[in-house]
Amino acid sequence: MVLWIVLAVLTAVVAAVLIAPLMKARQPVLAGPEDGAAVYRDQLREIDRDLSEGLIGAQEADYARAEIGRRLLAIAGKSDATDASVVKAGPGGRHRLALSAILLCLPAVGLCLYLMLGSPGLPDQPLEARLANPGNNIALLIAKAERHLAQNPNDGAGWDLLAPIYFRSQRLADAENAYRRAIALLGESPERLAGLGETLVAGRDGVVTADALAAFERAVALNRNNMRARFYVALGLEQAGRTPEALKAFQAIAADSPPGAAWTQLVAEHIAKNGGAPAAATKAPGNPGADDIAAAQQLSATDRQQMIAGMVESLAARLKDDPNNIEGWLRLVRSYKVLGRDESAGEALKTGLKTFPPTGEEGRRLLALAREMGLSLEGISQ
């Protein structure tokens, strides 16, 4: 409400200022020529001065005076000519028009545009005031911690606290920096190393890079019971194509895990993938069991993403071995598309169409799905 009053007052003041000259009864002035003459008279004085100071010669001065005199005459003639037309002006009906233009234009343009563009409901939010009263706003709490750390960059505990929070809010570069600082200041611990490794892995879309692997291995060396680190070490082996070692590592994790641990299903999945005996009962190919989903829900967002990616990859691998599975192809195309991997989706579509030609019933289902998902059908012969 206060805002609207201020805006109204502002508009009124501007309108009043603009109206003022229209209200004053003014004599029309003989403008122009007079002022030009002032300039020329000044130029004449200047010539006198230059002459008296010897800057110019007498002859030059005479020429210049004559020229300026001609200019003075020229504008004098003009002012005579315009005199008649000047007088006609007066505060007539025109001003009423101008008046209404001002009174209409200001509030109309001002209000319409402001309502379109402005956010009258939003109060000012200076950061200091918000930080003084952060409530449950995670972002503000992080900002507060950041300020603290900017002033005390050697507070290792602070970095240690902040690092996993950064990780959860997907600020991976900050998380990496925070983990590294915490490690530098407080020394290595399995949790910090595993956290750093996980951050690096997340930063490379699930690929266990060499430095991530090094971090996990050091974490395992410090504490063999850090299952998270061991899992990633095994994953690294798997990604490096060292299948037997990966299998052994995953089996060891399964053996060392307490029964009913959240990651049991995920590990079992990987054991199966690396050619080990599946721990759980066989299921329909590619359909995650209820347990898998339950496990997925217990994982963090990144882990879940990774798990989904892992399942999709294993589905793709199975379809490669046994392409005669239309449901599998449909799910694979859809999954790729959902994961945002349009290219892979297109690839899968093409490969699937090799087994199920577009002329057949199943082929048509694939094409319909592709169209529905907005995939490009270029290069696919109908």
Partner 1 sequence: MIIEIGHYALVLSLATSLLLSVLPLIGARRQDAALMALAPIGSVTLFGLVALSFAALTWAYAVSDFSVANVWENSHSLMPLVYKLSGVWGNHEGSMLLWLLILVLFSAMVAVFGRNLPDSLRATVLSVQAWIGTAFLLFILLTSNPFVRLNPAPAEGQDLNPVLQDPGLAVHPPLLYLGYVGFSVCFSFAIAALIEGRIDAAWARWVRPWTLAAWTFLTAGIAMGSYWAYYELGWGGWWFWDPVENASFMPWLAGTALLHSALVMEKREALKVWTVLLAILTFSLSLLGTFLVRSGVLTSVHAFATDPTRGTFILAILSFFVGGAFALYAWRAPELKSGGLFAPISREGALVLNNLILTVSTATVLIGTLYPLVLETLTGEKISVGAPFFNLSFGLLMIPLLIAVPFGPLLAWKRGDLLGALQRLYLVAGLSLVAGFVLFYLEHGGPVMAGLGLALGFFLMLGALADLWFRSGFGKLAFSVAFARFKGLPRSAFGTALAHFGLGVTVLGIVAVTTFETETVVEMKQGQTVTVGGYSLVFDGLREAVGPNFTEERGHFTVSRAGVAVADVWSSKRIYTARRMPTTEAGILTFGFSQLYVSLGDPMADGGIVVRIWWKPWILCIWGGALVMMVGGFVSLSDRRLRVGAPSRRAKPVKALMEPAE
Applying the rule CB under 8 A, the residues between 57 and 76 that interact with partner 1 are 60, 63-64, 67, 71, 74-75
Question: Of the candidates 44, 51, 65, 140, which one interacts with partner 1 according to CB under 8 A?
Answer: 140
Q: How far is the CB of 382 from partner 1 (least distance, A)?
A: 34
The verdict on 297 binding partner 1 (CB under 8 A) reads no
Question: Of the candidates 44, 51, 65, 142, which one interacts with partner 1 according to CB under 8 A?
Answer: 142
Residue 130 structure tokens: 């918000």
Could you tell me which stretch among 5-13, 184-192, 229-237, 330-338 binds partner 1 (CB under 8 A)?
5-13
Phi-psi region of 57 (alpha: psi -120 to 50; beta: other; left: phi over 0): beta
d(Cα 56, Cα 41) in Å, to the nearest integer?
18
Exposed, middle or buried, 139 (CB in 10 Å: 0-12/13-18/19+)? Answer: exposed
d(Cα 316, Cα 334) in Å, to the nearest integer?
12
Q: How far is the CB of 28 from partner 1 (least distance, A)?
A: 5
Q: Which residues contact 147 (CB under 8 A, 6 or more apart)?
A: 131
Could you tell me which stretch among 96-104, 255-263, 264-272, 347-355 binds partner 1 (CB under 8 A)?
96-104
Q: Which residues contact 77 (CB under 8 A, 6 or more apart)?
A: none
Number of residues that bind partner 1 (CB under 8 A): 82
The verdict on 282 binding partner 1 (CB under 8 A) reads no
The verdict on 118 binding partner 1 (CB under 8 A) reads yes
Q: Which residues contact 132 (CB under 8 A, 6 or more apart)?
A: none
The verdict on 211 binding partner 1 (CB under 8 A) reads no
The verdict on 12 binding partner 1 (CB under 8 A) reads no
The verdict on 285 binding partner 1 (CB under 8 A) reads no
The verdict on 153 binding partner 1 (CB under 8 A) reads yes
Question: Of the candidates 69, 91, 244, 360, which one interacts with partner 1 according to CB under 8 A?
Answer: 91
d(Cα 245, Cα 228) in Å, to the nearest integer?
17
The verdict on 161 binding partner 1 (CB under 8 A) reads no
The verdict on 165 binding partner 1 (CB under 8 A) reads no
> In the range 212-271, which residues lie near partner 1 by CB under 8 A?
none
The verdict on 100 binding partner 1 (CB under 8 A) reads no
* Calculated CA dihedral for residues 94, 95, 101, 102, nearest 10 degrees: 160
Could you tell me which stretch among 23-31, 198-206, 332-340, 366-374 binds partner 1 (CB under 8 A)?
23-31
The verdict on 101 binding partner 1 (CB under 8 A) reads yes
H-run or E-run covering 277: none
Residue 215 structure tokens: 């971090």
d(Cα 201, Cα 228) in Å, to the nearest integer?
12
Evaluate whether 186 touches 160 at the Cβ level (below 8 Å).
yes
d(Cα 52, Cα 46) in Å, to the nearest integer?
10
The verdict on 33 binding partner 1 (CB under 8 A) reads yes
The verdict on 2 binding partner 1 (CB under 8 A) reads yes
